[in-house]
Amino acid sequence: MFAPIKIGISSCLLGNKVRYDGGHSHDRYLTQTLGLFTEYVPVCPEVECGMPIPREAVRLVGSTENPRLVTQKTSVDKTDQMKTWIKGRLEKLAKEDLCGFIFRSKSPSSGLYRIRVYGDDGKIRKNGTGLFAKAFTKAFPRIPFEEAGRLNDPKLRNYY
């Protein structure tokens, strides 16, 4: 018998109802196949930093290098709240001995690739990376990471 490997994961991918609308993004491959060999460490940046369920959706606004996390309708800036939480959560994750991380795609906090960054005028200006995903990959450059949807590609899954 072997010990399962520890992998960090966006909590909604496990079926936890933590998304802004109270829903989840359950990924059966991750829970029913990969999950047989894995001990998951669930992370939901938006809930863990103090945002409620349900909540107003957030998006990235400004530059791709240093975007702000802002609520979509009321334009409340949640950047400092998120960055404060990220610092503490990364310290805790450093003690978890993670072997990888699986992020939720399209998330302004957890998305790795092609996350929309809006200009102050509300128009999409460019693509970036979610705030937590960016901080995690910078803090742990040697830990493999991927977005959940990309793991449906057998070649990417094998590489991961």
Q: Can you tell me whether residue 145 is helix, strand or coil?
A: strand
pTM for the model stands at: 0.93
Residue 146 near residue 160 (C-beta atoms within 8 A): yes
The interaxial angle of helices 79-94 and 131-139, nearest 10 deg, is 30
Return the domain boundaries, the chain.
Answer: 5-159
Q: How far apart are CA 10 and CA 89, in angstroms?
A: 13
Tens place of pLDDT per residue across the chain (160 aa): 677 899 999 999 999 999 999 999 999 999 998 899 999 999 999 999 999 999 999 999 999 899 999 999 999 999 999 999 999 999 999 999 999 999 999 999 999 999 999 998 889 988 999 999 999 999 999 999 999 987 777 777 666 6
